[in-house]
Amino acid sequence: MSKVLILPGDGIGQEIVAQALKVIDHLNENENLGMELVHGLVGGTAYDETGSPLPQATLDAARECDSILLGAVGGYQWEALERDLRPERGLLGLRAEMDLFSNLRPAILYPQLASASTLKEEIVSGLDLMIVRELVSGIYFGQPRGIEIRNGERFGFNSATYSESEIRRIGHSAFKIAQKRDKRVCSVDKANVLEVCELWREVMIEVAKDYPDVELSHMYVDNAAMQLVKAPKQFDVMVTSNLFGDVLSDCAAMLTGSIGMLPSASLNKDGFGMYEPIHGSAPDIAGQDLANPLATILSVSMMLRYSLNQVALADKIDNAVNTVLDQGYRTQDIASDGGSVVGTNQMGDLARVSFFFNPCGPLGGQNIFLFREGGASREGAKNYRIFPSDGPLKEKKKGNANFFTIKRFLHWGNTGLGFFMKRGPNGKVSNPYEFPPVGSQGGEYYGKVMAVV
């Protein structure tokens, strides 16, 4: 049994987290996930209700939970607030309070979306890279820092600092992740110029001794930036400092061309994690059913993989997302290849529906129309007749051999999408459009319903 704190936050955060909850509900109901959900406030909405972007109740709840699922924070209406009261403080406060030092930023390019990238398809298609960024130290936090007058002019300074233990722990984090992937770590530094990076490199080499199954390489950050756009598929796990990671992870994200597809995780040493899409609260499209919820749904997958040790269920989520993309469904941000454009809600419904189909199975591409009989509403209908989408629609007439009785039909919202089950006489369907049984369902038949007419 795991306990997860749900923090939708602001803007599109509310809409996209609602879609991720559909997936969690599905896994709780059908896959014994056993995830208990606790709901809380963060960001601007938390400020409006409590006067703080990170209320004490949210912090207390975070400490009681195994993980956090966060939507996004921020919005125009809170921009004039004092710095400490701004929505982003809620996020930074959670990172600091929970000591989330290890930031995992995958850059995955789904082959179905390769045309969305600005790079040539052959360079990026199938990209699957993980950037592990140190998140709570380095030049962003080092002391001394400031702006002062020196020799009669303004002088700005920051300190790039890392202790051995800070490097060691992010190193272990990266190597452990590599063990679950392709077992290659590339440590990115600037050891030819900076002493702090010399130490970084030395400690990485020491840490690597604990992971003989993982190959360690080193790269200077300028070269790493170049290689990311030249041949990004050469990398498996990249580990780097706070500053370099900030820049490289945004660059890697944009290789995929779709900000709405990328999840992220921030972990502490106990495996507690905060999982969130990499994008912000997108106030320009909030409340319009336009946001892509897939990065948030994939954040749930990361949570199951990296904090809750439910790798098989994480794989199922990844497969469901792949299935939806295979079917050609796109939210507007990823619709450059001309697929069927759907809204936020419908994308969430589709992701949920997709769990019922084995993407590798025989029904992977089968599209079906349902014809309703004996009732005006979907629920009231006595029967449904099924036709493959490529079958002639005139076969609709009653008594046709292509006639199935639907035992159960579920649908979501007004999407017109659902799934059906059928047990024919002797468990067999005898008609030209045979639907092979799916594994454990023993004589029940599944298909993708494209329209109910």
Task: Determine which one of 22, 176, 190, 422 is catalytic.
Answer: 190
* Residue 186 vs 297, nearer CB to ligand NAD: 297
Q: What is the smallest separation between the CB atom of 258 and ligand NAD, expressed in angstroms?
A: 8
Q: What is the smallest separation between the CB atom of 153 and ligand NAD, expressed in angstroms?
A: 32
Contacts of 194 (CB under 8 A, 6+ apart): 160
Answer yes or no: are the C-beta atoms of 43 and 10 closer than 8 Å: yes
Task: Determine which one of 210, 222, 284, 337 is catalytic.
Answer: 222
Task: Determine which one of 246, 318, 333, 349 is catalytic.
Answer: 246
* Residue 55 vs 437, nearer CB to ligand NAD: 55
Q: Which residues of 149-176 are buried (b: 16+ CB within 10 A; e: fewer)?
A: eeeeeeeeeeebebeeebbebbbebbbb
Q: What is the smallest separation between the CB atom of 37 and ligand NAD, expressed in angstroms?
A: 20
Told to judge if 246 belongs to the known catalytic residues of this protein, a careful annotator would answer: yes
Give the binding site for ligand NAD (CB under 6 A): 12, 16, 72-75, 88, 91, 259-260, 276, 279-285, 291-292, 295, 333
Q: What is the smallest separation between the CB atom of 317 and ligand NAD, expressed in angstroms?
A: 17
Q: Is 185 helix (H, G, I), strand (E, B) or coil?
A: strand
Told to judge if 349 belongs to the known catalytic residues of this protein, a careful annotator would answer: no
* Residue 280 vs 359, nearer CB to ligand NAD: 280
Which residue in this structure is represented by tokens 């130290």?
Answer: 137
Told to judge if 140 belongs to the known catalytic residues of this protein, a careful annotator would answer: yes
CA distance to 171, 206, 245, per residue, from 210 (Å) = 11, 8, 24
* Residue 266 vs 366, nearer CB to ligand NAD: 266
Cis, bond preceding 111 (omega within 30 deg of 0): no
Told to judge if 250 belongs to the known catalytic residues of this protein, a careful annotator would answer: yes
DSSP string, 110-161: -GGGGGGSSS-HHHHTT-EEEEEEE-SSGGGT-SS-EEEEETTEEEEE----
Answer yes or no: are the C-beta atoms of 167 and 102 closer than 8 Å: no
Answer yes or no: are the C-beta atoms of 422 and 444 closer than 8 Å: yes
Told to judge if 222 belongs to the known catalytic residues of this protein, a careful annotator would answer: yes
Answer yes or no: are the C-beta atoms of 277 and 295 closer than 8 Å: yes
* Residue 17 vs 353, nearer CB to ligand NAD: 17
Q: What is the smallest separation between the CB atom of 102 and ligand NAD, expressed in angstroms?
A: 16
Residue length of the chain: 453
Q: What is the smallest separation between the CB atom of 333 and ligand NAD, expressed in angstroms?
A: 4
Task: Determine which one of 250, 289, 396, 433 is catalytic.
Answer: 250
Distance CA 66, CA 292 (A): 26
Task: Determine which one of 25, 48, 140, 433 is catalytic.
Answer: 140
* Residue 174 vs 282, nearer CB to ligand NAD: 282
Active site residues: 140, 190, 222, 246, 250
